[in-house]
Amino acid sequence: MFIQTPYIQNFIKNKIFIKFILITNLFFLVFQNSYSQSIYSNNFSDRIANYTISVELEPKTKVLTGKMLLEWTNTSTDSITELQFHMYLNAFKNSSSTFMRERDEAFGGIDFTEFENMWGWIDIISIKIADGEILTSNMKYIQPDDNNIDDQTVLALTLDKPISSQEIVNLEITFIAKLPEIIARTGYSDDYFFVGQWFPKIGVLESKGIRNSTETKWNCHQYHSQSEFYADFGVYNVDITLPEEYIVGATGFLTKRETNEDGSKTHYYTAKDVVDFAWAASPDFVEYEKVWKGTIIKALMQPEHESLAYRHINATILAINYFEENLGEYPYPNITIIDPPFKGMKSGGMEYPTLFTTMSLSYMPFSVKIPEMVTIHEFGHNYFMGILATNEFEEPWLDEGFNSYYESKILKNNYPVFSFLGYNIEDIEIQRAGYTLYFNPQITDIDNFAWNFPLGSYSVMSYNKPALVLKTMENLVGEETMLLIMKTYYDRWKFKHPCSNDFIEIANEIIKQEHGNDLGKNFNWFFQQTIFGTGICDFKLASISNTLTSENTSGVYDQNGVKLTVVPEETPYIYQSKVVIYRLGDVKIPVEIQVHFENGDEIIEKWDGEESLKTYFYTGTNKVTWAKVDYLDKILIDINRNNNSFTLENNNLAYLKYTNKFLFWLQNFIQTIGFLV
């Protein structure tokens, strides 16, 4: 059902419509329930952390009161005496939190007086083992990353009795939280609520062999300005109570809705095999729904953005199609798109399992594809970090970079991001510009903890450069091999916690299988330089020269005291041609060089890129007229592709064309100024 036409808008006023909606909603509830039961007949994941949460939101005070039952399994081989929890909302508690200090440092001079009444926090009121000991007094805040004693985003709970390997523990927790006015991702704006990272969330216990762990330890980082999240898979059963006028969208699917005696409504949601649970509520949401290949796509739009609903839904469909064809089936029965209001825009562009927030602006021209770009990117996160649940704290490139790579591919297949008066710019070009124009692309490597990226480099090194690296890799190994690598990576690591080395291992395996030793013993030489190194790649076709050889001479020569005039023979000139290539950057990648002769002949040379300088010599009757290194434009990480080629036959048409454009623009500009003033 897709509500769009004026006929339907008139229909809305009709009471029959009310009944139609009720019946349809009932149908969808039944449909979702039965569908979900069938698709979830098997566990997708280990379901290590399962939550049953009852929460009530008081919109006036912005307070959440909740109680939860956490069922957690110690999957390690060791007994543990401590549990660690993320208390993310405490990042917004005061200006001394790590998040706020880092944000102040990044953006300089935040006026915290603006934040009066806007702070947010979370407290555990009580915590106990179900039918067991009360542990409330065993809590303390710790700061594993930066020793900032004022930061309260990680809570350690000392256990009275250790939890053995493979033991399941049930914890009953009551908590209270105050939502902040939206500073980043979560909070409220007027009566719009986006509730993410809102409950005490257990960290990930990584035992030996999980990711890079050599011993069993908690991987539970503080909430940093530049970091996102990491959690185990589980089942979430969440009931949310709030005033009846609020429309709710959440992770998972709605199983039932009840009206309470006080007039409030409780919405019951279930989400299985997910790493997080987020939800949004607003009395202003307008619902749009479409079923695509069995997936229910729901968009909760602000009234002023309704005209953009179809853009978000269509973009989601494109993304579903692409990912299912090229990576793996989307395993969940639904996806919810949340459209924040303008004043809640800081919650936009963010991902959660089976739910994401997008970005819309009234009067957004159709030619500007920002809504589509954000939607496709955020949907993609369901795969990268939602299903391939990488550690966003420690390896942000594994979700952001991979997602940016797929975002470019999906957009390229369908439309450029910006199109205006015939000027088209593709997404991958914007990614590349972000990297090449960054003031110091060598400032750090991709593989870095999120909060350790030097100022301003987080997005370049997590989004832009990894997308280019993956695209370059695709160009080098071939599209089919890359497809196989990604599918294998997805199949082996879905619903688990892969790390960089896991991906690299699969890449090496598949490349070896498909290409033998053509690309080296393994592909580590590429990863070492592009992911773990800081060098830049820059090949330059430095010069071409064509020199006449002495075989063909003419002129006056002294021979035995006699002046002898030599007339050139009637044979073609012989040229000694030289093509010189520099490797200006530290990154060494095998390249192909196309050398073109004046008679149209071409030679393709292959160079391993090891030396800093490479020279090719040719002898023949035809001059070399132009040459190009990386002639197929495979290496997107090359920081300057304009110097990849050299020609002796300049085509001035392009220069004249754009000079003419500049002339016209300038003439217009000064004429207009002269007219106006």
Q: Which of 129, 247, 368, 648: binder of another protein (CB under 8 A)?
A: 648
Cα dihedral 546, 549, 554, 560, rounded to 10, equals 150
- Which residues within the stretch 232-291 sit at the binding site for another protein (CB under 8 A)? none
Q: Is 116 one of the binding residues for another protein (CB under 8 A)? A: no
Task: Give pairs for 106-113: CB < 8 Å, separation 24+.
Answer: 106/225, 106/226, 106/455, 106/456
| Residue 597: closest CA among 540, 654, 647 | 647
Q: Which of 12, 18, 106, 663: binder of another protein (CB under 8 A)?
A: 663
- Choose one: 23-31, 159-167, 420-428, 603-611; the region binding another protein (CB under 8 A): 420-428
Query: How many Å apart are CA 481 and CA 513, to the nearest integer?
Result: 9
Read out DSSP for 370-418? HHHHHHHHHHHTTTBTTTB---TTT-TIIIIIHHHHHHHHHHHHH--SE
- Which residues within the stretch 70-109 sit at the binding site for another protein (CB under 8 A)? none
| C-beta of 438 vs 575, nearer to another protein | 438
* Nearest distance, CB of residue 180 and another protein, angstroms: 16
| Residue 487: closest CA among 323, 275, 334 | 323
Q: Could you tell me the CA-to-CA distances from 549 to 556, 567, 614 in Å, in that order?
A: 17, 16, 22
- For 239, phi then psi, to 5°, come to -115, 135
Residue 379: partners with Cβ closer than 8 Å, 6 or more residues away: 315, 316, 319, 320, 323, 335, 356
- Choose one: 94-102, 203-211, 611-619, 668-676; the region binding another protein (CB under 8 A): 668-676
Q: Is 340 one of the binding residues for another protein (CB under 8 A)? A: no
Q: Is 412 one of the binding residues for another protein (CB under 8 A)? A: no
Q: Which of 422, 516, 561, 600: binder of another protein (CB under 8 A)?
A: 422
* Nearest distance, CB of residue 6 and another protein, angstroms: 20
Q: Which of 1, 23, 125, 670: binder of another protein (CB under 8 A)?
A: 670
- Choose one: 197-205, 274-282, 395-403, 416-424; the region binding another protein (CB under 8 A): 416-424
| C-beta of 422 vs 600, nearer to another protein | 422
* Nearest distance, CB of residue 476 and another protein, angstroms: 19
| C-beta of 46 vs 426, nearer to another protein | 426
* Nearest distance, CB of residue 289 and another protein, angstroms: 23
Fill in the DSSP letter of residue 622.
Answer: S
Put residue 363 in one of left, alpha, beta given phi > 0 → left and psi -120 to 50 → alpha: left
Q: Which of 186, 334, 626, 635: binder of another protein (CB under 8 A)?
A: 626
Q: Which of 11, 27, 112, 662: binder of another protein (CB under 8 A)?
A: 662
Beta bridge partners of 543: 580
101 with 86: CB under 8 angstroms? no
Q: Is 667 one of the binding residues for another protein (CB under 8 A)? A: yes
Q: Is 600 one of the binding residues for another protein (CB under 8 A)? A: no
Which residue reads 């004043």 in tokens?
Answer: 343
Q: Which of 184, 291, 361, 368: binder of another protein (CB under 8 A)?
A: 361
* Nearest distance, CB of residue 90 and another protein, angstroms: 26
- Which residues within the stretch 298-327 sit at the binding site for another protein (CB under 8 A)? 302-304
Binding string to another protein for residues 171 to 210, with x set by CB under 8 A, is what?
A: -------------------x--------------------
Q: Which of 437, 455, 564, 604: binder of another protein (CB under 8 A)?
A: 437
Q: Is 429 one of the binding residues for another protein (CB under 8 A)? A: yes
Query: How many Å apart are CA 141 and CA 526, to the nearest integer?
Result: 42
| C-beta of 379 vs 646, nearer to another protein | 646
| C-beta of 502 vs 638, nearer to another protein | 638
| C-beta of 239 vs 630, nearer to another protein | 630
Q: Is 61 one of the binding residues for another protein (CB under 8 A)? A: no
Q: Is 674 one of the binding residues for another protein (CB under 8 A)? A: yes
Q: Is 366 one of the binding residues for another protein (CB under 8 A)? A: no
Q: Which of 562, 567, 613, 653: binder of another protein (CB under 8 A)?
A: 653
Q: Is 603 one of the binding residues for another protein (CB under 8 A)? A: no
- Choose one: 116-124, 205-213, 415-423, 585-593; the region binding another protein (CB under 8 A): 415-423
Strands (E) in 447-574, as ranges, are 539-548, 555-559, 562-566
Q: Is 567 one of the binding residues for another protein (CB under 8 A)? A: no
| C-beta of 261 vs 649, nearer to another protein | 649
197 with 88: CB under 8 angstroms? yes
Query: How many Å apart are CA 241 and CA 267, to the nearest integer?
Result: 6
| Residue 221: closest CA among 91, 95, 397 | 91
Query: How many Å apart are CA 179 and CA 120, to the nearest integer?
Result: 5
Q: Which of 221, 432, 471, 494: binder of another protein (CB under 8 A)?
A: 432
Laid out side by side, the sheet with 613-620 consists of 539-548, 575-583, 613-620
Q: Is 492 one of the binding residues for another protein (CB under 8 A)? A: no
Query: How many Å apart are CA 391 and CA 497, to the nearest integer?
Result: 7
Q: Calculate the CA 189 to chain-centre distance.
A: 25
- Choose one: 205-213, 260-268, 580-588, 634-642; the region binding another protein (CB under 8 A): 634-642
Q: Which of 259, 413, 513, 671: binder of another protein (CB under 8 A)?
A: 671
157 with 200: CB under 8 angstroms? no
> What is the Cβ-side half-sphere exposure of residue 474, based on CA atoms within 13 angstroms?
18
Beta strands 295-301; 204-206: pairing state: unpaired
Beta strands 63-73; 168-178: pairing state: antiparallel
Q: Which of 69, 425, 574, 584: binder of another protein (CB under 8 A)?
A: 425
Q: Is 363 one of the binding residues for another protein (CB under 8 A)? A: yes
How many C-beta neighbours within 10 Å does residue 223 have? 27
14: amino acid identity, one letter = N
257 with 266: CB under 8 angstroms? yes
Q: Which of 11, 342, 366, 557: binder of another protein (CB under 8 A)?
A: 342
387: amino acid identity, one letter = I
Q: Is 677 one of the binding residues for another protein (CB under 8 A)? A: yes
Show the CA angle centred on residue 467, arms to residues 425 and 321, nearest 5°: 80
Joined tokens for residue 4: 């769009």
Q: Is 562 one of the binding residues for another protein (CB under 8 A)? A: no
- Choose one: 202-210, 526-534, 577-585, 645-653; the region binding another protein (CB under 8 A): 645-653
Which residue reads 């909603």 in tokens?
Answer: 25
- For 613, phi then psi, to 5°, come to -140, 135
| C-beta of 564 vs 666, nearer to another protein | 666
Could you tell me how many residues of this chain bind another protein (CB under 8 A)?
Answer: 59
Residue ranges in contact with another protein by CB under 8 A: 190, 302-304, 341-343, 361-363, 421-426, 429-430, 432-433, 436-437, 626, 628, 639-648, 650-660, 662-664, 666-671, 673-677
